[in-house]
């Protein structure tokens, strides 16, 4: 069967074998070489496919060398097998030389690469690293969620202002406290330009500070007080400039703390202390003045009785003179009565009553007087009963004093600017657990310098004959007696607001 | 003075007032009205006078040396329950007449100085008549 094989002898010698007469051995070599050749072509083919599909394989050129090396080995084995059929010594030699070259090259480059291959993480190490990274990511997410919850539940308003190329600001983000404190809906203001997001009054107050912080690049803190959609608020703000990678201030991080209650309490304490001092002084003054006045009026009565016995002409003259004296003494007596009222004392019994009715009565009284003067008096009554404890007549008096003060302010401004609006707006409502009467006027506003002094007795800016400076102190005394106080501020659009707060009484105790 | 003697005869009013000039004028008025008047310059003197002879009504100041008005009212009411009292004061005690609820049973009227003498005389007549009625 293998008679042709001896003809192959030179090739076999060349291969280093002498297989003459060993037919079984020839088959063994032939089949093995074929099997190895096919396998050695298949293996690099899969590696080549792998290389094409997975671009992220480390050292692809090394894998490429392996592909070439194994494929050339396969070729060499196939040349061996072909030698049994049709020997091609030159081609087989070239194939072997190519295999040698590529083997040697692979062997050479493999040694220097070895340390780097050793340094490569093992799949287990990679899995571990992946696991660690996942855990770290979960921790970061949890921390972020905690921070978000912290921000969402913080009492302080936190916000970020982005500086725009034109020098303006955009409210980039804000937390729920921002909405609570300023009454601005986050869904409507976040992402908006500041001039669109904020009421003009708030913007006007904040903008200079933002600009200073952005321009100076330094932290800054400031305190403001203004009307907000959530009502009147006082707040402390801290601004921190945030820089971008070029070092330019790109954003401002702000935090605002609501100090309304604290400021109100402080103002209340100061006012209480002043009024307590004033009250003591007034009580003493009223007492000391009333004694001689009392004696004088009593003796005057005796004098008038005696005068009646004189001859007619003399009696008339004397009666006239004594009448003048009595008139002046009574006038002094009335003043003493008003000073006494300032001391907080009252003859009226304290009772629970509806503040709405007392305030409405005062507005009706004043409205009738002011309408002929061309002053518009608007009243926004409460939608509910507002029970308070005190004397209805005194509350009505107090509100009348606030209205008279507003009227005088409006008249003062109109004297200077005849075209100025002449408007007084009264509002009554329950606010933050208190009953609040607010009187807003379109007058010239209260100069800062007299803001506190105007509650002192006999302090007046009015012309002689227009007021003796007991109106506001009386109103403040009434408010204090009813568990509250009065504060005032100027309105952004001109004019002043006087806010009288009263402690509410139990609703069930309202007299019918 | 047509009403001189109308129910006033024999009625004794104790006047406790440390302001001598005021006390003298009040005494004059009361005498003219036909009342008997006991004058005391302070609370203690008034109490001593009342112990000797109990009045039908007390007309008193609040702020006085030795014994003040409230103390005097309390002491006299202990001796003569339901004694009518008229208080004259330069202060207006907060709570008004209510402030005198704690100084014994009996009617109290409050007048702030300067006193309206006609109103005071009318009050005295009313209180004394009510006492007779009760």
**Shortest CA distance to B79 belongs to which of B6, B3, B14?**
B14
* pLDDT surpasses 90 at B36: yes
Give me the residue from A293, A299, A343 closest to B113, CB to CB: A293
Chain A nearest-CA distance from B89, in A, is 8
Mean pLDDT of chain A: 84
**Shortest CA distance to A369 belongs to which of A411, A429, A415?**
A411
| The domain defined by A154-258 carries CATH number 3.30.450.20 | yes
The span from the CA of B53 to the CA of B59, in Å, is 15
* pLDDT surpasses 60 at A2: no
Contacts of the segment A192-195: beta carbons below 8 A, 24+ positions apart: A193/A164, A193/A168, A193/A169, A194/A161, A194/A168, A194/A169, A194/A170, A195/A168
Residue ranges, CATH 3.30.565.10, chain A = 351-509
Chain B nearest-CA distance from A337, in A, is 9
Chain B nearest-CA distance from A360, in A, is 25
Q: If you average pLDDT over residues B49-66, what whole number do you get?
A: 91
Q: How many residue pairs bridge chain A and chain B with CB atoms within 8 Å of each other?
A: 82
| The domain defined by A264-342 carries CATH number 1.10.760.10 | no
Q: Do B90 and A345 touch (CB under 8 A)?
A: no
Chain A neighbors of B25, CB-CB under 8 A: 295, 298-299, 301-302
Q: Do A347 and B98 touch (CB under 8 A)?
A: no
Q: Do A294 and B28 touch (CB under 8 A)?
A: no
Q: What is the DSSP letter of A503?
A: P
Give me the residue from A305, A330, A349 closest to B96, CB to CB: A349
Chain Cα centroid distance, residue A398: 37
Question: Considering only A193-197, A285-289, A462-466, which range has the smallest mean pLDDT?
Answer: A462-466
**ipTM value of the model?**
0.77
pLDDT tier at B2, thresholds 50, 70, 90? very low
Residues of B with CB under 8 A from a CB of A: 19, 21-22, 25-26, 28-29, 32, 63, 88-98, 110, 112-115, 117
- Tokens representing B8 are 């006033």
Q: What is the DSSP letter of A192?
A: S
Q: If you average pLDDT over residues B89-103, what whole number do you get?
A: 65
Domains and CATH numbers, chain B: 12-129 (3.40.50.2300)
Mutate to test the interface with B, among A285, A291, A335 (most CBs of B within 10 A): A291
Q: Do B113 and A291 touch (CB under 8 A)?
A: yes
Chain A nearest-CA distance from B41, in A, is 14
pLDDT tens digit sequence for A132-188? 999 999 999 999 999 888 888 888 999 999 999 998 999 999 999 999 999 999 999
Contact A288/B at CB under 8 A: yes
Question: Considering only A41-45, A88-92, A350-354, B54-58, which range has the smallest mean pLDDT?
Answer: A350-354
> Helix (H) and strand (E) counts for chain B?
4, 5
Return the pLDDT at B93.
57
Of A306 and A270, more confident:
A306
Q: Do A287 and B112 touch (CB under 8 A)?
A: no
* pLDDT surpasses 60 at A512: no
CA atoms within 13 A on the CB side of A217: 6
Return the pLDDT at A70.
92
Return the pLDDT at A469.
63
| The domain defined by A351-509 carries CATH number 3.30.565.10 | yes
pLDDT tens digit sequence for A50-75? 888 888 888 888 889 899 999 999 99
- Tokens representing A66 are 């392996």
Is there a cis peptide before residue B9, judged by omega within 30 degrees of 0?
A: no
**Shortest CA distance to A29 belongs to which of A78, A68, A67, A90?**
A78
- Residue in chain A nearest B23 by alpha carbon: A295
A 381-440 residues inside an 8 A Cβ radius of B: none
The span from the CA of B10 to the CA of B28, in Å, is 16
pLDDT tier at A9, thresholds 50, 70, 90? very low
Of A452 and A57, more confident:
A57
Backbone angles phi, psi at A308, to 5 degrees: -65, -20
Q: If you average pLDDT over residues A234-247, what whole number do you get?
A: 92
Q: If you average pLDDT over residues A71-97, what whole number do you get?
A: 88
Q: Do B91 and A293 touch (CB under 8 A)?
A: no
Chain A neighbors of B95, CB-CB under 8 A: 346, 349-350
Residue ranges, CATH 3.30.450.20, chain A = 154-258
In Å, what is the CA distance from A44 to each residue of A49, A58, A92, A107? 8, 17, 20, 17
The span from the CA of B3 to the CA of B35, in Å, is 12
pLDDT tier at A237, thresholds 50, 70, 90? very high
Q: Do A295 and B22 touch (CB under 8 A)?
A: yes
Residue ranges, CATH 1.10.287.130, chain A = 264-342
pLDDT tens digit sequence for B45-56? 999 999 999 999
């Amino acid at each position: 069967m293998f008679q042709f094989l001896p003809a192959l002898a030179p090739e076999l010698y060349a291969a280093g074998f002498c297989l003459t007469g060993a037919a079984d051995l020839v088959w063994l070599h032939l089949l093995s070489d074929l099997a190895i050749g096919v396998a050695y072509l298949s293996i690099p083919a899969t590696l080549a496919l792998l290389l094409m599909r997975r671009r992220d394989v480390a050292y692809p050129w090394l894998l490429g060398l392996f592909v070439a090396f194994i494929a050339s080995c396969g070729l060499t084995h196939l040349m061996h097998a072909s030698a049994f059929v049709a020997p091609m010594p030159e081609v087989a030699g070239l194939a072997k030389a190519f295999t040698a070259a590529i083997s040697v090259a692979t062997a050479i480059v493999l040694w220097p690469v070895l340390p780097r291959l050793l340094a490569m993480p093992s799949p287990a190490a990679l899995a571990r690293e992946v696991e660690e990274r996942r855990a770290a990511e979960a921790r970061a997410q949890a921390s972020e969620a905690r921070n978000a919850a912290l921000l969402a539940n913080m009492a302080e308003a936190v916000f970020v202002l982005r500086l725009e190329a034109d020098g303006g600001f955009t409210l980039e983000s804000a937390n729920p406290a921002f909405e609570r404190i300023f009454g601005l809906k986050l869904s409507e203001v976040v992402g908006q330009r500041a001039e669109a997001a904020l009421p003009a009054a708030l913007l006007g107050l904040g903008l200079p500070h933002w600009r200073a912080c952005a321009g100076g690049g330094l932290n800054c803190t400031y305190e403001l007080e203004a009307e907000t959609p959530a009502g009147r608020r006082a707040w402390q703000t801290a601004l921190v400039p945030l820089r971008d990678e070029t070092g330019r201030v790109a954003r401002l991080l702000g935090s605002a703390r609501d100090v309304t209650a604290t400021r109100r309490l402080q103002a209340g304490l100061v006012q209480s202390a002043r009024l307590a001092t004033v009250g003591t002084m007034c009580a003493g003054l009223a007492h000391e003045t009333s004694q001689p006045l009392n004696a004088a009026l009593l003796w005057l009565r005796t004098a008038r009785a005696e005068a009646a016995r004189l001859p007619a002409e003399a009696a008339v003259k004397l009666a006239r003179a004594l009448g003048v004296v009595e008139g002046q003494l009574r006038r002094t007596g009335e003043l003493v009565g008003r000073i006494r009222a300032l001391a907080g004392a009252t003859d009226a019994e304290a009772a629970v009553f509806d503040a709405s009715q007392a305030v409405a009565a005062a507005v009706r009284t004043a409205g009738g007087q002011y309408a002929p003067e061309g002053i518009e008096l608007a009243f926004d009554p409460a939608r509910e009963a507002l029970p308070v404890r005190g004397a209805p007549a005194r509350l009505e008096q107090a509100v009348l004093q606030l209205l008279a003060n507003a009227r005088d302010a409006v008249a003062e401004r109109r004297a200077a600017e005849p075209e100025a609006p002449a408007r007084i707006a009264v509002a009554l409502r329950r606010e933050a657990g208190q009953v609040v009467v607010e009187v807003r006027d379109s007058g010239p506003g209260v100069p800062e310098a007299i803001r506190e002094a105007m509650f002192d007795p006999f302090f007046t800016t009015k012309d002689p004959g227009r007021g003796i400076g007991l109106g506001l102190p009386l109103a403040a005394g009434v408010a204090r007696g009813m568990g509250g106080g009065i504060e005032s501020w100027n309105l952004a659009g001109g004019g002043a607001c006087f806010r009288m707060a009263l402690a509410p009484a139990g609703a069930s105790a309202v007299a019918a | 003075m047509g009403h001189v003697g109308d129910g006033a005869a024999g009625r004794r009013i104790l006047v406790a007032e440390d302001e001598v000039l005021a006390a003298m004028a009040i005494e004059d008025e009361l005498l003219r009205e036909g009342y008997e008047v006991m004058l005391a310059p302070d609370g203690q003197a008034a109490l001593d006078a009342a112990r000797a002879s109990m009045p039908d009504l007390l007309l008193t100041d609040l702020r006085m040396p030795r014994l003040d008005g409230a103390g005097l009212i309390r002491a006299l009411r202990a001796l003569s329950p339901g004694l009518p009292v008229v208080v004259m004061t330069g202060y207006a005690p907060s709570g008004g007449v209510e402030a005198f609820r704690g100084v014994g049973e009996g009617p109290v009227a409050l007048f702030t100085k300067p006193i309206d003498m006609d109103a005071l005389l009318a009050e005295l007549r009313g209180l004394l008549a009510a006492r007779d009625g009760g």
